[in-house]
Structure 1
């Protein structure tokens, strides 16, 4: 068993840190809102720290799941940052979806300090975090990924090193690109069925077992048809992720025309007041605008 720190107790981090302590690891948590860290320790045990530096002191592994590039830099760097508290040989595992640029920047700083840094974004949403069934795609040195694997196993069903630093974040971008196109296609299909006056639920039942079937169809079509959009990853966070995808594509010369278009559709959803709706709310946009 290892001594771990977990930084960031949002909808993903809160249950992920809980799985670590349930697996027998010694866990110290940090959250920007201290009251949430207090609730976590009351529920799970462990200890709460007042700064990332304090949380990281003596830890073999420091996990983070925060908001964006700036949030990640803030919990890593500076006098109160985790790097200042980590010992040589400790490994930082970042589960935030951030840019490959900041990942490589922090990987280089960690290496200069004899510390490991693994980019390990996740897929599976809140339900995956709560059930310990996340998919984790990693980038970084092989030895650091191997060392972190037993910790990550506490809340994942699949862990895979993709390549060097930043590769995990690029894999997560691929994930978000695929989701954006799938959800828009499903939304258009359901809207088309409704406009044509046929039973959309019957259509889903028939085509779901064929080539058109997808996780999105199985898990979101019913709530979409019921006009319910409080069941998953928020549009605001999806737009943050798609901005990373589009910026990385610009740097690498990749073409993402569908992703760019769907990003603008999500902008429409935000303007409808749906920034906290889940990503399947693209159907709501179609119902509103045709």
Structure 2
């Protein structure tokens, strides 16, 4: 399949590599062109604007920072569906959004995309517009590199079934959660659990350090017990060591938890634990830690890494 990909960042770049290894033709665009060009040596074809992808690719995948970035990439002057030229009919059949954005924004973007693309597609292919699949992922950079991501998908069942073989290049599992927006809601549930757990791990590391024991040994001490998890094994080392390569920025968690809070308000859902995590993340931002690694929860608690127990 000819595929377009917008956003070859920490997550997007390894996903693109898996698509190339699977034999797909992948055309790549990024606002910072150098990030796209870094993949050219591995077989990716760099384009100048997202619009080129819509006229040449059957599926276009997005892995972007937030809803404004998705909107600009799709509907901007040089966007996938922006500046339509009748001489260049659209080929894109599916827009697959791996970004984590609010469910309401996803639904609005999907309706807008259907309206725009239905009047600009190549009618020789009997298309009625581009199908929108919101497909946020879980598994982090390690999961993207290993090709074991979990994908939570929202959209028409036929569209999700059509793109599942494509996503299998880097996903161990694709779960259809419902209509457009349902994938984003599932991701909010995921982030609710993840952020609360990492905050609790940071508190445990802080308690260990301030009690005079080696917090780094918690991974061994708690292995196999109820507190053990992928997050525990990942973040205790990151919270007790310095100099490890970042796997994401704390501001990403803040964006997601703010969306959780907004959705909780819209649905009347009491979420006291998530509300506390939200305040921790706001405190981190106020401390200048927005660009710090996800493990910086422990820095918000002002606990030295490698402290009392060393």
TM-score by length of 2: 0.86
Out of 46, 49, 62, which is 2:47 matched to?
Answer: 49
SS of alignment partner, residue 254 of structure 1 = coil
Q: Tell which deviates more after alignment, 205-214 or 241-250.
A: 205-214
CA contact (8 A) 2:160 2:176 kept: yes
Deviation at 1:8, TM superposition (A): 1.2
Which residue number in structure 1 is paired with residue 267 of structure 2? 252
1:19-30 correspondence runs (5 A): 19-30=18-29
After superposition, what is the alpha-carbon deviation per residue over 1:34-80, rounded to whole angstroms, capped at 9, x for unaligned?
A: 22222221x22232111111122131111011111110001111442
What secondary structure, in the 3-state scheme, does the structure 2 residue paired with 1:154 have?
A: coil
Residues of 2 paired with 1:288 and 1:226: CA distance? 12
How has the CA–CA distance of structure 1 residues 52 and 21 changed in structure 2, closer, same or farther, with 3 Å as cutoff?
Answer: same
Measure, in 2, the Cα distance between the counterparts of 1:280 and 1:79: 38
Q: Which moved more, 1:172-181 or 1:266-275?
A: 266-275
Alignment of 1:213-228 (within 5 A): 213-227=228-242
State the partner residue of 2:6: 7
Give the secondary-structure state (helix, strand or coil) at the position aligned to 1:159. Answer: strand
1:102 aligns with 2:105: yes
Cα RMSD over matched residues? 2.0
The number of equivalent residue pairs is 287
Change (3 A) 1:71 1:203: closer
List alignment gaps of at least 5 residues for structure 2: 119-128, 305-310
Per the TM alignment, residue 167 of structure 1 is displaced from its structure 2 partner at its CA by: 0.5
Q: Where in structure 1 are there 5+ consecutive unaligned residues?
A: none
Which residue number corresponds to residue 152 of structure 1? 167
Aligned residue number for residue 279 of structure 1: 294
Q: Give distance in 2, aligned partners of 1:233 and 1:259.
A: 20
- CA separation of 1:280/1:39 partners in 2, compared to 1, >3 Å: closer, same or farther? closer
Mapped contact 1:96–1:120 kept (Cα < 8 A): yes
Q: 1:89 to 1:5 in 2, by over 3 A?
A: closer
Whole-Å Cα distance in 1 between the matches of residues 218 and 133 of structure 2? Answer: 43
User: Structure 1-normalised TM-score?
Assistant: 0.92
Q: How much has 1:250 moved relative to structure 2? A: 1.0
- Residues 130-154 of structure 1 deviation map (CA, whole Å, 9 limit, x = unaligned): 2222111100000100111111111
Q: 1:122 aligns with which of 98, 122, 137?
A: 137
The separation in 1 between residues aligned to 2:215 and 2:76, in whole angstroms, is 54
- The answer to whether the Cα contact below 8 Å between 1:269 and 1:285 also exists between their aligned partners in 2 is yes
Residue pair 2:60, 2:92 contacting (<8 A) in 1 also? no
**Residues 99-122 of structure 1, C-alpha deviations (whole Å, 9 max, x = no match):** 111210122123332210000001
Distance 1:56 1:89, change over 3 A: closer
SS in 1 for 2:60: strand
Q: Say yes or no: does 1:132 pair with 2:135.
A: no
In terms of fraction of residues, the more helix-rich structure is 1
